[in-house]
Structure 1
Amino acid sequence: MKRLLLAFTLLAMAGLANARPQTSVPAVTLHGHRFTTEFATDDASREHGLMMRTELAADHSMLFVFPDLQPRWFWMKNTLIPLDILYFGADRKLVSMQLDVPPCKADPCPSYPSDAPARYVLELPAGTARRIGVQAGDELTVEGDIGAVR
């Protein structure tokens, strides 16, 4: 009986050792740096984005996910914090950047386009992309369930 219990315990421990940890907080990794993130995957969440926020933690981001690959442009209406806006193709490689984009204080607000079609757009606190050395072609890794994109 003791041998059976020991064998069962060892098997259970081996199974735990091989188990992958589950990540409950969505995150992205870019150029070796990990950021917790919020997903914007439908029209309403993409339209609202980071509007009305007074701060964005240095290790936090928002990832906009679109259902297709198209030229994209963002604007900063009602966005109170400066941002880096990074555009990624369908393969999640960086195709364009708009850095140190200021908040829009009065209409009309300028738009900030991508230089190439994008499917993913990552917003980070302004200055982050330069600080971590992001370059065109860098790949974005996404942790968490993006879910249905509408």
Structure 2
Amino acid sequence: MQKQSSARTARFARRVMGAVALAWSVGVSAQQAMPVTELSSGIHLIRAEVAATPADRQRGLMFREAMGPGAGMLFVFDAPSQQCMWMRNTLIPLAVAFIDDDGRIVNVEEMAPQTDATHCSAQPVRYALEMNAGWFTKRGIRPGAVIDGIARKR
């Protein structure tokens, strides 16, 4: 009798753990889905996930192991102010462009992975665009350049 009870308990525990794992993976998948927008700078196209909620901005690109060559993440803030980014739990090196309301890049910062060092905008901005490290430099995109399509994200 005790063997049957132990076997039933083990089956029940496996079912519960399976259900918990399924619910967690569905929750994580749903949580990571962010809207995507198309941006550009000159001839350079960008496919950016949009992080517009506090939770999405806080999570950002954490735990990602790779990002495509034209992929990025656009952080949209409620109002222009000095914005700072960090790389806690971010596994890939990134570059961030801080962008004003008109879509003009204010400054670009390179960021090393898995650090708590802050990288801040040189003046109040509403947007930050994270791309793979060196993306802006390799394309000659500097402060003053415009990211097209960004001003309509207000």
The residue identity in structure 1 corresponding to 2:114 is: C
The residue identity in structure 2 corresponding to 1:131 is: K
Q: 1:88 aligns with which of 95, 99, 103?
A: 99
Alignment-derived partner of residue 41 in structure 1: 52
Q: After superposition, where does 1:1-150 map in structure 2 within 5 Å?
A: 26-99=37-110, 101-104=111-114, 109-142=116-149, 146=153
The residue identity in structure 2 corresponding to 1:73 is: C
- Asked whether the equivalents of residues 45 and 70 of structure 2 are also in contact (C-alpha less than 8 Å), the reply is yes
Alignment-derived partner of residue 21 in structure 2: none
Separation (CA, whole Å) in 1 of partners of 2:58 and 2:78? 14
Structure with greater helix percent: 2
Query: Which contiguous aligned blocks of 4+ residues in structure 1 show a shift greater than 3 angstroms?
Result: none
The residue identity in structure 2 corresponding to 1:103 is: P
Separation (CA, whole Å) in 2 of partners of 1:102 and 1:126? 8
- Asked whether the equivalents of residues 31 and 133 of structure 1 are also in contact (C-alpha less than 8 Å), the reply is no
The alpha-carbon deviation at position 32 of structure 1 amounts to 2.5
The alpha-carbon deviation at position 129 of structure 1 amounts to 0.6
Q: Percent identity?
A: 30
- Asked whether the equivalents of residues 26 and 37 of structure 1 are also in contact (C-alpha less than 8 Å), the reply is yes
The alpha-carbon deviation at position 120 of structure 1 amounts to 0.6
TM-score normalized by structure 1? 0.74
- Asked whether the equivalents of residues 63 and 122 of structure 1 are also in contact (C-alpha less than 8 Å), the reply is yes
The alpha-carbon deviation at position 31 of structure 1 amounts to 3.6
Structure with greater strand percent: 1
- Asked whether the equivalents of residues 31 and 132 of structure 1 are also in contact (C-alpha less than 8 Å), the reply is no
CA deviations 1:37-60 (Å, max 9, x no partner) are 100011010110000000011110
Structure 2: tracts of 5 or more residues without a match:
1-34
**1:50 is paired with a residue of what secondary structure?**
coil
Q: Relative contact order (alpha carbons < 8 A, sep ≥ 6): 1 or 2 greater? A: 1
The 3 A distance-change label for structure 1 pair 128 and 47 is: same
- Asked whether the equivalents of residues 107 and 142 of structure 2 are also in contact (C-alpha less than 8 Å), the reply is no
Alignment-derived partner of residue 18 in structure 2: none
TM-score normalized by structure 2? 0.72
**1:69 is paired with a residue of what secondary structure?**
strand
